[in-house]
Amino acid sequence: MSENPNDEVWIDQFKKVGKSASLWQQSARHLVCAANVLYHRELRIPREAGIAPSGIFIALMLYGLALENLLKGLLVARGLEATSTGHLSRKLRHHRLRLLCQETGIDISSDEADLLEELQRLIESAKYPFGVHPRLGKARRGIIVPTDFKLTFALIDRVEETLREAAPDRTLERIDLRSLCVDDEGTAQRTQRSRQSGLRPRPHPN
């Protein structure tokens, strides 16, 4: 047992929040919010033909992380114990999106399978300036704008709807995720913290 009584509070809180499908969904929406703001900002920056601004890759990484949270939330909604041992389950400590789709029964097309491989690569390496290893012997698919964003949002919408069906009383209401945190012109806007958007403060022990 920890000598600091507050540690026990944190451990108990950790075990509880991992069971909440809506918190996994809420985390995904925070990521979508940030990605939307960055993506629309980058689209307004003049660039050479065929060259995407670096922020585009970070935005797609954030969308990929949102999709990952929704897929893991779906596993939790179906009974996976995420944090009951006091540690995040090994089944959730990875970024293999194709495997998560397989485990959750989300059917994907060949184009979506290729996209998920690219999203996994971005999640694992886009936070670094040069990735985590050279891609020796592999042809890099690259990012296709705006096709990949349309595919990614279609997946996000499909997985969130499946999550909502799996736990109708324990998930957030349907909203237009494409407009989350941006207006019709793609300008960042204040979003009211509400149950509808899911953009609320994270749980914190007293």
- 139 within a domain of the structure (yes/no): yes
Q: Percentage of residues in the chain with pLDDT exceeding 70?
A: 83
- 128 within a domain of the structure (yes/no): yes
- 195 within a domain of the structure (yes/no): no
- 199 within a domain of the structure (yes/no): no
- Among 36-50, 94-108, 135-149, which is the least confidently predicted range? 135-149
- Among 34-43, 91-100, 140-149, 170-179, which is the least confidently predicted range? 140-149
Question: Is the predicted pLDDT of residue 13 greater than 60, yes or no?
Answer: yes
Handedness of CA 73, 170, 28, 32 (dihedral sign): positive
The residue among 16 and 113 whose pLDDT is bigger is: 113
pLDDT at 50: 53
Please give the tally of structural domains in the chain: 1
CA angle 70, 64, 37 (to 5 degrees): 100
pLDDT at 190: 64
pTM value is 0.86
- 189 within a domain of the structure (yes/no): no
- 206 within a domain of the structure (yes/no): no
Q: Which domain holds residue 102?
A: 5-179
User: Rg (Cα) of the chain, in Å, rounded?
Assistant: 18
b/e map 4-14, b = 16+ CB within 10 Å = eeeeeeeeeeb
